[in-house]
Structure 1
Amino acid sequence: MMRVSFGKFAKGGAARMALATALATGLVAGGATLGATAAIAKEKEAAKGGAFSKEFIAVAGPLQKVLGDAAAAKAKGTSDADIKTQLAGAPAQLAAAEAAIKNPTDRMTAGQFAVNLGGMLGDIGMRERGIKNMLDSGLVPADKVSEYQFYLGNFAYTQKDWPVAVDALTKVVQANYSEDTAAELLADAYVQQGKPAEGLQALKLAVDTRKAAGGTVPADWFKRANLIAYKAKLGPQAIEWSTMMVENDPSPINWLGAGQLTREFGTFTNQESLDLGRLMMRSGAFQSDPKYLEREYVEYIEAADPRRLPGEVLKVAEAGVAAGVLRANDQFVADAISQAKGRIAADKASLPGLERDARAGADGKGALATADAYLSYGDAAKAEDLYKLAIQKGNIDKDRALTRLGIAQCDEGKYEEAKATFAQITGAVRAPLAKLWTVYATTKAAK
């Protein structure tokens, strides 16, 4: 279960008293004497909830005195243990007061008593009950309702009272309350009930609500969502949230995480892994901590293959060595570099002839292969032209061609054109990858 510190409303001593003071709000003054007299009852008639009922005054008056005496003793330095002894009969008095509730004013005051007593006794369930009565009274000021709902949700969460926690915290999230932990607690309340998908929906509601209000979405919401999705093996949601995370904060580590989760839950072949490696290289993911990157460099080199794209393999392998991620004397790395170096000259020399054949070809297969070669050598303009030709001629993997056309356009700085290209990719395998590339294009365009 997520361990969350609830700050002043989950700790003792002065913090409890601070909460009690905050909860008073002046609606029904906690310090007023509840005597069973007509004068007192009349004094309360002006309150929004009406006068205290006679039945409530009869049982609540003695309880208020007990609470007042305990608060005075606490102020004089009496120990918590002695305070609890002094309050031994108070829970029964509170129960009697709650049973005597006849109107909103009674309910609001009973709730205040429960919050105060629960604070002194360390009884979170009692505080939860108190906050609920205060909210149910209808006397909490409108500008304080979300705050009280947050208290209620926290108390209910701590008590594992999941239905109450979900109800209260959903209202808090819908109101875009400033306490960011509300969304995470709501999501976890669903997870604790075996409903991770609903937890992710709750976090999505929080994100959408915060964005609609023009606010900043906390990074922790994305981290929590990614953790929930990953643990529950919810592949589509994991990909969606990792993409949202990097869109919110395109840092190297977020790019790395988004790429890894997209591959983890995708059905990638070497072709998709190659384009993911290209994205990681360009986005800055390879600037993350080297201890996370060896697998990524190796997968990129394997996907590119020195027999097919020697120039790109050499560039990646040498970058990995320079970054201290790969070792030049490692057999895999040494073989890749050796093979790549031995093929580059002949490979480059063959490109003009391959291009002529591609333009004369009956379909787009030759154009696609030649475009791949030009892209691997960094000739984005030539690659763009040939990818367009391949798509026009057809009989190819169109999503693969579109992905790489978009990459070439990104390399040329044509970010809006690239986004339009990526938007055409609809296949289940490449669509998530295309969304990541779209985020990259958007980020680059913004700079």
Structure 2
Amino acid sequence: MAFSTLPPLALFAAEQGVYGRLRQHIQKIAPAAKDELAQQENGMKLTPTALTLVLASSSLAMVSPAMAQYGSSAPPKVAMPPKGEAPPAEASTGEYKPNISSSARKEIVELQTAVNAKDAANIPAKLAAAQAKAKTKDDRYVIAQLQLKAAVDVQDNAAIMTAIDAVLASDVLPPANTIPLYVNLGKLQYNTKAYDKAAASFERALQIEPNNVEATVMLAEARNAQGRPAEAVTLIQKAIAARVAAGQKPEENWYKRAVKLSFDAKMPSAPTIAREWVAAYPSQKNWRDAIRIYQSTSGLDDASLLDSMRLAQAAGALSGENDYFRFANTLVTKGFPGEAKAVLDQGFASKAIDKSRATFSQLYTLASTRSQGDRASLAASATAAKASADAKKAMVTGEAFYGYGDYAQAADLFRAALGKSGVDKDLANLRLGMSLARSGDKAGAVAALKAAGGAQAEVASLWLTWLAQQA
């Protein structure tokens, strides 16, 4: 059967329903929900249980479960006096002890009693009475804490936000201890779609502690909701860098979220972020996704993307009918039938593709027929290529040796090409690095791949990332 009768890739994909759209695939690897990242960090999905109120007597500490891993400080504990008694003097423990004014003491104690009893019917009146009598910052601070506890008890998010504002407005807490309040306030504001207010709250936390990663990733979500995805990606990258600098591994969802946002916004950083993601979390699936993102955003045709397909093969990231057909079909078209046959054999052996399918059986027959005698002729071709002044023959012959798994011979030919006229040094170094990587010469491969710049820089970086993961 003539090769021209084989279905082209696009037609094959449409008929078989196996290719799909890359955008749909990206949606799968990083769901589109705006608060996906927040959920991972116990973020925007804030519930009263996430606002843990620790009352020792009536001391307040507001720390969400996610806070513990970020090391954010909780507000200082504030001890309330027992019912009917005056507040104690400041203790030697260093905990802040409010000095409640005598004019507000009775009303504050009554409010405390109502809040601790969860007397919802009487709390509003008691709160109003206490607020009317408040004279000092300490009065307002203690009243705001009790107001917050009452709001959390009834799971009233609007009341929680009002109470947090009151705690902050009391101006009693040291700046560092207001960070959890600002972050939780921002989450609640985000959930009400008050994105500008949420962003302002997260920014306030970051003014106090610029490297607070929770506030950073939450601000990223707010920025995205404001229609500013580029800023959102930059913020997530900042959080990732902060974790790395601290010797900690960033959350995988941070990478996935940044990949999705940058890909959807058609940002040039998408393949770089995808590469950083697979460097931190290597897996066959992640490699496939990272390579697909590079292929989709590069603007190159399949013939120019063969080296990324070869990387997918090296990483064990070929999966499904489309991957194998696209790779093998491109190899046959480019004149490397022996490599195409090897790719199809791999697919058949792994049961990723079915040899009985007409599409694959026809392509396999064509590759097998065209590769007959090809391998045996390569020795003579190599001699002629090395003797030629033109680099093209050395490059083509080296590529053929690579396809047959003779990486040492391939490397020799790519080295020879580098010394000839008309050579694309970036492409020659890329393929020299690939050959050395597959042959086990890690140091030589690193040197060659680092020398591959220009249009080959990104795929060379992908190969370097894969190489770094090899033993």
Query: Considering the TM-score relative to the shorter chain, is it more than 0.5?
Result: yes
Q: Deviations over 1:103-136 (max 9, x none)?
A: 4x34532431332232134332443344355456
Structure 2 spans left out of the alignment, 5+ residues: 1-33, 63-74
Q: Deviations over 1:66-94 (max 9, x none)?
A: 3422422x3xxxxxxxx443334356557
2:79 corresponds to: 29
Correspondence for 1:203 among 236, 239, 253: 236
The whole-number CA distance in structure 1 between the counterparts of 2:348 and 2:176 is 59
244 and 172 in structure 1: CA distance in 2 versus 1, 3 angstrom threshold: farther
Structure 1 spans left out of the alignment, 5+ residues: 75-82
Give RMSD over aligned pairs.
Answer: 3.5
260 and 307 in structure 1: CA distance in 2 versus 1, 3 angstrom threshold: closer
Matches within 5 A, 1:370-409: 370-409=397-436
Shift of 1:421: 1.7
Counterpart residue type for residue 68 of structure 1: T
Counterpart residue type for residue 28 of structure 1: V
Correspondence for 1:323 among 350, 365, 368: 350
The whole-number CA distance in structure 2 between the counterparts of 1:34 and 1:364 is 95
Matches within 5 A, 1:4-403: 6=42, 10-12=46-48, 17-18=53-54, 22-23=60-61, 27-31=77-81, 43=89, 52=99, 54=101, 58=103, 61-72=106-117, 74=118, 83-89=119-125, 92=128, 96=132, 102-103=136-137, 105-135=138-168, 139-140=172-173, 144=177, 146-159=179-192, 160=194, 161-168=197-204, 170=206, 174-176=210-212, 183-234=216-267, 236-286=268-318, 290=319, 293-305=320-332, 308-403=335-430
The whole-number CA distance in structure 2 between the counterparts of 1:34 and 1:129 is 28
Q: Compute the TM-score of the two structures, normalised by the length of structure 1.
A: 0.81
The whole-number CA distance in structure 2 between the counterparts of 1:278 and 1:368 is 16
| Residue pair 1:239, 1:265 contacting (<8 A) in 2 also | yes
Q: Compute the TM-score of the two structures, normalised by the length of structure 2.
A: 0.77
Percent identical:
25
* Deviates further, 435-444 or 224-233: 224-233
Q: Deviations over 1:127-173 (max 9, x none)?
A: 33443554566654687555444433433333433223431564698
| Residue pair 1:183, 1:221 contacting (<8 A) in 2 also | no
132 and 396 in structure 1: CA distance in 2 versus 1, 3 angstrom threshold: farther
Q: Alignment partner of 2:389: what SS?
A: coil
409 and 95 in structure 1: CA distance in 2 versus 1, 3 angstrom threshold: farther
Shift of 1:394: 3.4
63 and 347 in structure 1: CA distance in 2 versus 1, 3 angstrom threshold: same
| Residue pair 2:59, 2:78 contacting (<8 A) in 1 also | no
Correspondence for 2:469 among 440, 443, 446: 443
Q: Alignment partner of 2:61: what SS?
A: helix
Q: Aligned pair 1:426/2:453, yes or no?
A: yes
| Residue pair 1:111, 1:129 contacting (<8 A) in 2 also | no
| Residue pair 2:44, 2:191 contacting (<8 A) in 1 also | no
| Residue pair 2:35, 2:221 contacting (<8 A) in 1 also | yes
Q: Alignment partner of 1:329: what SS?
A: coil
Q: Deviations over 1:332-358 (max 9, x none)?
A: 311221122112232223323322332
62 and 407 in structure 1: CA distance in 2 versus 1, 3 angstrom threshold: same
51 and 408 in structure 1: CA distance in 2 versus 1, 3 angstrom threshold: closer
Q: Alignment partner of 1:418: what SS?
A: helix
Tell me the number of residue pairs that the alignment of Structure 1 and Structure 2 aligns. Answer: 417
The whole-number CA distance in structure 1 between the counterparts of 2:263 and 2:200 is 27
The whole-number CA distance in structure 2 between the counterparts of 1:278 and 1:172 is 49
| Residue pair 1:157, 1:185 contacting (<8 A) in 2 also | no
